[in-house]
Structure 1
Amino acid sequence: MTRTHAYIACLFVVFFYSGNILVGSALNELPPITVAFFRVLIAAVALLPLGWQSAWRYRSAFRRHLGPLLLLTITGVTFFNTFIYTALQFTSATNVSVLEAVIPVATALLSAWLLRERLRLVQWTGVLVSFIGALWVVMGSVTDHLFGGWNVGDLVMVGAIVSWALYSIAVKRYIHLFPEYGTLLVMTSLSVGLLAPLVAMEWTVMGVPEFGYWAHWAGLAYLGIFPSVIALLLYNRAVRVLGASQASVFLNFLPVVTMIGATLFLSETIAAAQIAGASLVIAGVLLTTRVARKRP
């Protein structure tokens, strides 16, 4: 994959992940762990004909590098989207998309901490600007009480941000150890096993949900194929070419695409504070990743 192809792949990732948020919001009648479980189950079934041969051929590599494999699985497949769908039970699709756009900043910070990458003054400035923008969005106004505008969904998104930032770093360090399709099959299959007891607990507490509406299955099919398989393949390939920081910076476009989709399809009203906060988040992310994007 060339750099140009990697950029195009990242744009498709943004559209598919925006659809993940919009469809996940439309499915909030279903419990969040249930949505996450059926997403990975459908993804595993879709990947079976593509990845079973390479998964079997590289089974010794999976056993040998079980730690990195579990890190990739837990952060990028199992709990990232569980956090997303849980957050959508309590907050808007727009808020989720803006907070998800903070991921490149979180990736840069974790890279500085875990990989000892040095951040320059302009990058630290970008971190601060993005943080202020995220606060602005979830509080509704910078003049609100410090935590008055936060809700449970906004706080849950912190888990999603950290999960994907860790996944981006893990992809750069470990994904070359595994085959492409076989790895996704193994990761989604492991996620099915990890989420199965959690969804059983959810059904015990909340009752078994009704799946009678065709829209439920259509939405779950979208989540299981496009964001779970196609977008993840494209993102992993882009990270190999561009690096974690440059690939994740394309998430800047996520709030814009999601805001448009939320207005058209979910009848959400976009407040001026959300637009202003999203602009600050995007500006801060651009500053944070500025040095990385200039490197050849």
Structure 2
Amino acid sequence: MKIHPYILLTAAMLFFSGNFIVGKSFEGIIPPFTLALLRFVSATIFLLPVCLKTINLNHALWKKEWKPLMGLAITGIVLFNGCLYLSVNYTSSINAAIVDALTPTVAAILGFLILRETISKLQTVGIILSFGGILWIISRGSLDVITSFSFNIGDVIMLIGIIFWALYSIIIKKHSSKFPTISGLVMTMIIGIIILLPISIIEWVTIGFPNLLDGKIILGIVYIGIFPSALALLAWYKGVAEIGPAKASIFFNLVPIFTTMLAVIILGEQFTHHQFFGGIVVLFGVYLSTKTRRENKSKNKRLKRNIAN
């Protein structure tokens, strides 16, 4: 049975949103890097049977391309997820998800600085709006918070996390074509697990080892291992293949919306007016910061077709 790509992409965003909820629900129960470790151990167990043969056939590729694989593991698996799970120990899952929505804007800035990609005037307006919206949210709409730099540390950690994710996206852009999709992802996870293990051991020594026999903890780990880490990514790849990355990227704007709904229903978080106003400004800014780039790509494709004809 063929599933419509819009349904696949919407489901993927819902699964991604659940990651914020589970991370927040484990606040004070599972240390952040330990939670990241358990997430990717669970995801690897789920995905490994699907791609074990491909992994075994590409030993030479993994050895040759170890540097980009290491870069993907450090930025996307270890540092981003460590920051995400650490941030929700200090801020709401709603705030973390809205800050996370800034990722395309940060990626555009880093693309300009690292890859020398052009940024149009409209994109610049979008970038300024996005950061203005985030500043409004993390300052709770207070000028005193801005002038005294007394921001919520959780919001700042999440901002740092999306910088790591944007770096991860740039590495993907430059190197992902070298790797088979699922096996490349699993190899990145395995390297991430190896890096996360000693960090987690430090957490166990200093904070304590979590009670992994608790039924709710097991369900939470299974969820973040299977749904946002495996099924969501598979749905994302399928959806992108059907409608293209430009249209598919718009669906990421659903993450803060779904996260807000889930946080209010499941965690009992309050959705404040400054989150509502700031979230709208952020999403509109993200739309502007990516709109011109998508239009330019479409124009370039049409130009190439006209030249070819």
Residue 132 of structure 1: aligned partner: 132
Amino acid at match of 2:110: L
Residue 268 of structure 1: aligned partner: 269
Change (3 A) 1:76 1:30: same
Q: Which structure is larger by alpha-carbon Rg, 1 or 2? A: 2
1:26-82 Cα shifts (integer Å, max 9, x gaps)? 111211111111111111111221111101101111111111111222222222111
Trace 1:155-234 onto structure 2 (pairs within 5 A): 155-234=156-235
Residue 102 of structure 1: aligned partner: 102
How far apart are residue 239 of structure 1 and its match? Answer: 6.2
1:181-226 Cα shifts (integer Å, max 9, x gaps)? 2212211111111111001000111122223421111001001111
Amino acid at match of 1:279: I
Judge conservation of contact 2:14–2:255 (CA < 8 Å) in 1: yes
Q: CA RMSD of the aligned region, Å?
A: 1.9
Residue 305 of structure 2: aligned partner: none
How far apart are residue 238 of structure 1 and its match? Answer: 5.8
1:224-282 Cα shifts (integer Å, max 9, x gaps)? 11111222334456667745x76544322221111111111110011100000001100
Residue 23 of structure 2: aligned partner: 24
- Distance (Å, rounded) in 2 between the aligned partners of 1:233 and 1:187: 15
Trace 1:244-259 onto structure 2 (pairs within 5 A): 247-259=248-260
Judge conservation of contact 2:87–2:154 (CA < 8 Å) in 1: yes
Change (3 A) 1:144 1:234: farther
Residue 114 of structure 2: aligned partner: 114
Residue 286 of structure 1: aligned partner: 287
User: What SS is found at the alignment partner of 2:34?
Assistant: helix
Amino acid at match of 1:23: V
Judge conservation of contact 1:129–1:280 (CA < 8 Å) in 2: yes
- Distance (Å, rounded) in 2 between the aligned partners of 1:61 and 1:34: 29
Q: In terms of mean alpha carbon deviation, does 138-147 or 36-45 score higher? A: 138-147
Judge conservation of contact 1:25–1:93 (CA < 8 Å) in 2: yes
Residue 13 of structure 2: aligned partner: 14
How far apart are residue 9 of structure 1 and its match? Answer: 4.3
How far apart are residue 291 of structure 1 and its match? Answer: 0.9
- Distance (Å, rounded) in 1 between the aligned partners of 2:13 and 2:51: 24
Change (3 A) 1:10 1:73: farther
- Distance (Å, rounded) in 2 between the aligned partners of 1:195 and 1:143: 39
Change (3 A) 1:236 1:167: farther
Amino acid at match of 1:223: I
- Distance (Å, rounded) in 2 between the aligned partners of 1:83 and 1:93: 13
Residue 74 of structure 1: aligned partner: 74
1:1-36 Cα shifts (integer Å, max 9, x gaps)? xxx83x554433321110110111111121111111
Change (3 A) 1:110 1:148: closer
Judge conservation of contact 1:249–1:289 (CA < 8 Å) in 2: no
Change (3 A) 1:94 1:149: farther
Q: In terms of mean alpha carbon deviation, does 51-60 or 286-295 score higher? A: 286-295
Amino acid at match of 2:253: N
How far apart are residue 94 of structure 1 and its match? Answer: 0.4
Percent identity, please.
32
Amino acid at match of 1:226: F
Residue 154 of structure 2: aligned partner: 153
Residues paired across the two proteins, number: 291
Amino acid at match of 1:74: I
Unaligned segments of structure 1, at least 5 residues: none
Judge conservation of contact 2:17–2:255 (CA < 8 Å) in 1: yes
Judge conservation of contact 1:51–1:182 (CA < 8 Å) in 2: yes
User: What SS is found at the alignment partner of 1:270?
Assistant: coil
- Distance (Å, rounded) in 2 between the aligned partners of 1:152 and 1:19: 22
